[in-house]
Structure 1
Amino acid sequence: MDALTPVVVQAIAGLMGGGIAGNLVDLAAIRTPPKVIASLLGGIAGGAFAGLVLGVGTVAVVTPEAAVTAEAASQVNFAALATWVAGGLIGGGLLTTIGGALGFGR
């Protein structure tokens, strides 16, 4: 499950970035499946690239012993989360705008 967390965060951020780009640039408006797919892929690629460049780790970094029930199941790495969201927003917006400028999904 920890391996899917970055992908989900980046994909959602990519959709949000594509939506923001669509509101700013009418050419990039997410109205068709190709642009939705572009925003998802751009978000995942942008978030992964940002994480790679900044060297952030996984979101869940600490797993306590089973006997410890008072603590949370994991600690959240907010630096990684913020990097994935920012990279996803930028990547989704860029790829959706480029796709719209090239005429995909009209």
Structure 2
Amino acid sequence: MEAIVPILVQLIAGGAGGNVLAQVIKSLNLGPAGNTIVGALGGVAGTWLASMIPGLDSLIGAAATTGGAAGGIDLGALVGQGATGLVSGGILTAIVGAVKSAMAKS
């Protein structure tokens, strides 16, 4: 169960990031389901990529997935993963929304 919690945090935060971005920049809106799905995928992928960056790996990487030193879930790492998921979910939604808008104009 502890291994699932970080992924759930990334999925939820990414979906939220995608929906927030779509509300702020209407031209990138993919619809509620599209924003959520693309954002959730961006949340997981972005957190995974960020965990490979030296310095960030200790904040969002292995600490949350292994349970930390005490054998429980590392709350600080989960907060880092949530923040990274939120931002990367918004970024991927923006990219996909921009591509969709560009294709619609052609």
Q: Tell me if the contact between 2:17 and 2:90 (Cα under 8 Å) persists in the aligned partners.
A: yes
Letter in 2 for 1:24: V
Q: Determine the structure 1 residue equivalent to 2:76.
A: 79
CA RMSD of aligned residues (A): 2.2
Cα-to-partner distance string for 1:27-75 (whole Å, 9 max, x where unaligned): 2324154443211110111122233321231263223xxxxxxxxxx3x
Q: Matches of residues 16-55 of structure 1 in structure 2 within 5 Å?
A: 16-31=16-31, 33-53=33-53, 54-55=56-57
Q: Percent same amino acid at aligned positions?
A: 32
Tell me the secondary structure at the aligned position of residue 100 of structure 2. coil
Letter in 2 for 1:58: A
> Structure 1: how far apart are the matches of 2:75 and 2:52?
16
The structure in which a higher percent of residues are helix is 2
Q: Tell me if the contact between 1:48 and 1:87 (Cα under 8 Å) persists in the aligned partners.
A: no
Does 1:58 find its partner at 2:58? no
Does 1:88 find its partner at 2:85? yes
Ranges in structure 2 where 5+ consecutive residues have no aligned partner: none
Q: CA deviation at 1:23?
A: 1.2
Q: Tell me if the contact between 2:14 and 2:39 (Cα under 8 Å) persists in the aligned partners.
A: yes
Letter in 1 for 2:2: D
Ranges in structure 1 where 5+ consecutive residues have no aligned partner: 64-73
Q: Tell me if the contact between 1:50 and 1:83 (Cα under 8 Å) persists in the aligned partners.
A: no
> Structure 1: how far apart are the matches of 2:5 and 2:84?
15
Structure 1 residues 19 and 33, CA, compared in 2 at 3 Å: closer, same or farther? closer
- TM-score (norm: length of structure 2): 0.74
> Structure 1: how far apart are the matches of 2:12 and 2:97?
19
